């Protein structure tokens, strides 16, 4: 398709380093890497729970390892960064209309953060009740 005399540089795999916008995009895509670590931790926890109390204590100690806490802290930050980007995309992908009027995008973003807070409160209730 390129003509004989034309010059057509191939996009190299480091293209995303050339612009701050692309770096932010790659950071957004990379949020799943620490997420996978956390999910694997949960899976290991599930199976240690099946193997008995001793094995479960071992998993709790593993979760206390400073390195594990550090990666999970990164996963927590990544999940909030993901939420921040994902909530902004939602009103653009699925613009909602209520009573014939377009719902303001900011309201939709705010509504989603409200959901995060509700889940946090629910989790606090689940894990802290009766302690």
Partner 1 sequence: MMTKKLSIQRYLPEQGNAPYWQDFDVPFDDSTSILDALNYVKEELDGSLTYRWSCRMAICGSCGVMINNTPKLGCNSFLREYEGPVKIAPLAHFPVEKDLIVDMEPFLDHLAAVQPYLIDDSRLIDDNEEGTQTYKQTPAQMEKYKQFAGCINCGLCYSACPQFGLNPEFLGPAALTLAHRYNLDSRDQGKKQRMAQMSREEGVWSCTFVGFCSAVCPKNVDPAAAVNQGKVESAKDMLIGIFKG
Partner 2 sequence: MNKGTSLNNDTSENMKRSDEPIWWGLFSAGGVCFAVFVPAAILFIALLIPAGIIAPEALSFDRARSMLFSLPGLIFIGVVICLPLFHAAHRIRHGLHDLKLGKEHLNKRVTYGGAALLSALALVGFAVGIL
- Which residues contribute to the site for partner 2 (CB under 8 A)? 13, 16, 26, 29-33, 35-36, 38-43, 45-47, 49-50, 52-53, 56-57, 60, 63-64, 68-69, 72-73, 75-76, 79-80, 82-83, 86-87, 112, 115-116, 119-120, 122-124, 126-128, 131
Contact positions toward partner 1, by CB under 8 A? 1-3, 5-8, 11, 15-16, 18-19, 21-22, 25, 29, 89, 92-95, 100
What burial letters (b/e) apply to 77-91, b meaning 16+ CB within 10 Å?
ebbeebbeeebeeeb
Largest CA distance in the chain: 77
With H, G, I as helix, E, B as strand and everything else as coil, classify residue 125: helix
Query: What, of partner 2, partner 1, none, does residue 101 touch, CB below 5 to 8 Å by kind?
Result: none
Query: What, of partner 1, partner 2, none, does residue 3 touch, CB below 5 to 8 Å by kind?
Result: partner 1
Q: Give the number of residues written for the chain.
A: 131
Question: Which residue, among 56, 38, 57, 32, has the nearest Cα to 46 in the 3D structure?
Answer: 56
């Amino acid at each position: 398709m390129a003509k004989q005399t034309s010059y057509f540089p191939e996009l190299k795999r480091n293209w995303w380093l050339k612009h701050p916008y692309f770096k932010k995009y790659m950071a957004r895509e990379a949020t799943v890497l620490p997420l996978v670590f956390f999910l694997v931790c949960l899976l290991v926890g599930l199976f240690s729970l099946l193997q008995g109390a001793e094995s479960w204590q071992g998993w709790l100690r593993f979760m206390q390892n400073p390195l594990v806490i550090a990666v999970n802290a990164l996963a927590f930050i990544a999940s909030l960064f993901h939420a921040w980007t994902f909530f902004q995309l939602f009103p653009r992908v699925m613009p909602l209309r209520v009573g014939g009027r377009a719902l303001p995008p900011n309201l939709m973003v705010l509504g989603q953060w409200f959901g995060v807070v509700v889940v946090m409160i629910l989790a606090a209730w689940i894990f802290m009740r009766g302690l």
